[in-house]
């Protein structure tokens, strides 16, 4: 059973705010896949998620380091950017499995490059352009994901 949530994000502030709202309703760990073209807002959305869990500093894309860890009071958040990954097997050498625990929040940009080395997501999110705005589509991919999307829908934030 899949649940979906869709919304228009009018600007960067709205994209960060949506990440904040998602963080506010995640009660335990989650694996979040982010899809979208370059510049579609994946890192901007992730900034909202990370800040929603209590980080007050800068949130940058880990394009060259592959992962940026945020060890926060409410949760450990790991931001992955697999765009420059040459071979999914490289993830095994960096110990990727150690990041994915039941309580961790793992946000993965370009997950298709990770192959079988990353777990299936709880949420599968696509950010896309609609004129000057962005559109976000959040789909559940697990029971945990269904619960999160149902909470999002109950907030009446979507289309």
pLDDT tens, residue by residue, 123-152: 999 999 888 889 999 999 999 999 999 999
Give the integer Cα–Cα distance in Å for 77 and 46. Answer: 10
Least confident of 25-29, 37-41, 61-65, 83-87: 61-65
List Cα–Cα distances, 59 to 43, 54, 131, in angstroms: 8, 12, 26
Record the pTM: 0.93
Reported as a single tens digit per residue, the pLDDT across 53-96 is: 999 888 888 877 889 999 998 899 999 999 988 888 889 888 88
Beta bridge mates, 109: 34, 81
State how far the Cα of 67 lies from the Cα of 89, in Å rounded to an integer: 15
Q: Note whether 145 and 120 are within 8 A (CB).
A: no
Angle between helices 143-154 and 12-25 (to 10 degrees): 120
Pairing of strands 67-71, 76-81: antiparallel
Look over the chain and give the mean of its residue pLDDT values, rounded to a whole number. Answer: 91
**pLDDT band at residue 156 under the 50/70/90 scheme:** confident
> Residue 57 has what pLDDT?
85
What pLDDT score was predicted for residue 107? 96
Domain boundaries, the chain: 4-154
Check pLDDT > 90 for residue 45.
yes
CATH of domain 4-154: 3.40.50.300
pLDDT confidence tier of residue 39, bands split at 50, 70 and 90: confident
Going by pLDDT thresholds of 50, 70 and 90, the confidence category of residue 159 is: low
């Amino acid at each position: 059973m899949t649940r979906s949530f869709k919304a228009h994000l009018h600007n960067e502030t709205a994209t960060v705010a949506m990440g904040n709202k998602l963080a506010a309703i995640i009660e335990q760990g989650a694996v979040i896949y982010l899809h979208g073209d370059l510049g579609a807002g994946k890192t901007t959305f992730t900034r909202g998620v990370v800040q929603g869990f209590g980080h007050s500093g800068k949130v940058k894309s880990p394009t060259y380091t592959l992962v940026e860890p945020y060890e926060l009071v409410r949760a450990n958040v790991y931001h992955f950017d697999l765009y420059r990954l040459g071979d999914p097997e490289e993830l095994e050498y960096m110990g990727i499995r150690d990041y994915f625990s039941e309580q961790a929040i793992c946000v993965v940009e370009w997950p298709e490059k990770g192959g079988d080395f990353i777990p299936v997501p709880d949420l599968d999110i696509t950010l896309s352009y609609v004129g000057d705005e962005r559109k976000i589509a959040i789909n559940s991919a697990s029971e945990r994901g269904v619960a999160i999307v149902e909470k999002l829908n109950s907030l009446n934030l979507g289309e």
